[in-house]
Amino acid sequence: MSAQPHLSSDAVPRALVIEDSEYTAYLLAFMLERAGYDVTTVRNGRDAQILIDGDAVPDVVLLDLMLPHVDGFELLTEMRESPKWRRVPVLVLSSKMLEADVVRAFDLGANDYVTKPFRPQELLARVNRLAPSGQGPG
């Protein structure tokens, strides 16, 4: 698991986890790495913005909405306004359960929405479905 905001450029599918909870970020990274993803984790909206402005683009993003500095809604807007990030699949993973929040995320371009607490195998199946191959790694 990488704590540095960088993304590898090899053939392994790259997942970006944007999550402020240390425990949840660790769990997601562990789960995704076991499934064959190269995982980069950032813990706040500012670090995520650095990645969005950079050259490396992941294959799939798991995005929390409630983040320090810049929230997930703003990050989602920035991703969809960036030509490089526009088509990157984004799965929102949030404890926000109000219909208005879910609809807003979809309206801003989220590809999927899962509420916390999540079921790990279901979440992995959703991530694999969003990965460019449609099946995830392997």
Between 1 and 89, the higher pLDDT residue: 89
Higher pLDDT: 10 or 63? It is 63
Phi, psi of 86 (to 5 degrees): -55, -40
What pLDDT sits at residue 138?
54
| Cβ-contact 86, 52 below 8 angstroms | no
pLDDT digits (tens, 9 = 90+) for 60-104: 999 999 999 999 999 999 999 999 999 999 999 999 999 999 999
pLDDT of amino acid 118: 96
Summarised one tens digit per residue, pLDDT across range 108-128 is: 999 999 999 999 999 999 999
Mean of all residue pLDDT scores within the chain: 91
Q: What is the residue type of 112?
A: D
> What whole-number distance in Å separates Cα of residue 122 and Cα of residue 133?
18
Of residues 55 and 4, which shows the higher confidence score? 55
